[in-house]
Amino acid sequence: MSEAVVTSLRTGSSPAFAPSMMNDADPWGEDLQLALYLLYELHYRGFDEVDDDCEWDPDLLRLRRRLETRFLDALQTALPDSPRTVAKAFAPVLVEPVDLSGSLSHRLETTGELWQLREYAALRSLYHLKEADPHAWVIPRLTGRSKAAMVAIEYDEFGAGRADRIHARLYADLMTDLGLDPTYGRYLDRAPAALLATVNLMSLFGLHRALRGALVGHFACVEVTSSPGSRRLAKAMRRCGAGPAAEHFYAEHVEADAVHEQIVRHEVIGGLLTDEPDLEEDIAFGCAATLLLEDGLATHIHTSWEHKRSALRTPLPSC
């Protein structure tokens, strides 16, 4: 599937694939997730030497829709008993667990090595270098209180009017400190399916007005869980001597996201539920799907490192 997408983008032809390929495609596998990522990227910055008109090519959109359906069906199948209320969906993430042994940020804080921090940063770059972009799609789909609160948070994410304070820029500086290439999309070829799925989830929710509730649930889950993890990662960067910009990115998120958590829970979600109470199950689903994929990525990274292998498809060169 991904080869069909690449060929189509390079040649301008319709994507060619056998129908059986779609039926056999693993919704969690690298092939489907990469194909979907490539199609979604047309709505962000696109690709060099690929016509911008490909963004709305009918054949590519039909293929994207079929891939999305496979992905969304797999998510729903994996979450048959997920909470249906906002209170139940967010209850597990509002309190810091006593046992942090399964926490990836805790592992990096306490025993992480510099090479592991570099791998983690390379993996996360696919999201952080477009941080806040997919969530901005929900703004025109909100009204009143929820819209005002969402814009206030996004204003911070985009640097509060200062280009050097845009969070994606701060992450690029982090990558430079770690001896990584901060070019947008640089580590796509090294990204495993578990990472691609976390980014595709945001794009899936963001591009569909019908999934606006799920996108708000995703955004709220990210903000609620960000501050404690960022505090641990800031300590990990400092302990390993990663550099001031590397530490600063996470230190910035400790304070900012603690504030954002309150705004998103009480104003964005609260306002949306006042305007559209029937979206509560969608908000809860967005939170549950986010936790599912983040847990899957953490498991992939833990397992890779425990077996003394890279969590990337191919290891990074030494800095």
8 Å CB contact between 283 and 214: yes
The pTM for the full model equals: 0.95
Task: Round to whole Å and give the CA distance between 180 and 280.
Answer: 41
Whole-number pLDDT of residue 318: 84
Whole-number pLDDT of residue 95: 81
26-46 as b/e: b if 16+ CB within 10 A: ebbebbbbbbbbbbbbbbeee
Whole-number pLDDT of residue 91: 93
DSSP states of 41-92: HTTTT--TTS-GGGGG-HHHHHHHHHHHHHHHHHHHHH-TT--SSHHHHHGG
On average, the pLDDT of the chain sits at 95
- Residues of the chain with pLDDT > 90, as a percent, come to 88
Predicted confidence (pLDDT) per residue in 129-139, tens digit = 998 999 999 99
Confidence bin at 286 (pLDDT 50/70/90) = very high
Predicted confidence (pLDDT) per residue in 107-127, tens digit = 999 999 999 999 999 999 999
- pLDDT (average), residues 45-55: 95
102: Cβ contacts below 8 Å, ≥ 6 apart: 298, 302
Predicted confidence (pLDDT) per residue in 154-167, tens digit = 999 999 999 999 99
What residue ranges define each of the domains in the chain, with the CATH number in brackets? 2-78 (no CATH), 86-306 (1.20.910.10)
How far is the first Cα of the chain from the last one, in angstroms, to the nearest whole number? 34
Predicted confidence (pLDDT) per residue in 145-197, tens digit = 999 999 999 999 999 999 999 999 999 999 999 999 999 999 999 999 999 99
Whole-number pLDDT of residue 21: 86
Whole-number pLDDT of residue 19: 82
8 Å CB contact between 242 and 177: yes
E strand or H helix at 38, and its extent?
Answer: helix 30-41
User: 């969530």: which residue's tokens?
Assistant: 135
- pLDDT (average), residues 270-284: 98
Confidence bin at 18 (pLDDT 50/70/90) = confident
Residue 100 has pLDDT above 90, yes or no: no
Q: Is residue 182 classed as helix, strand or coil in its secondary structure?
A: coil
- pLDDT (average), residues 41-70: 96
Whole-number pLDDT of residue 96: 76
Confidence bin at 98 (pLDDT 50/70/90) = low
Residue 206 has pLDDT above 90, yes or no: yes
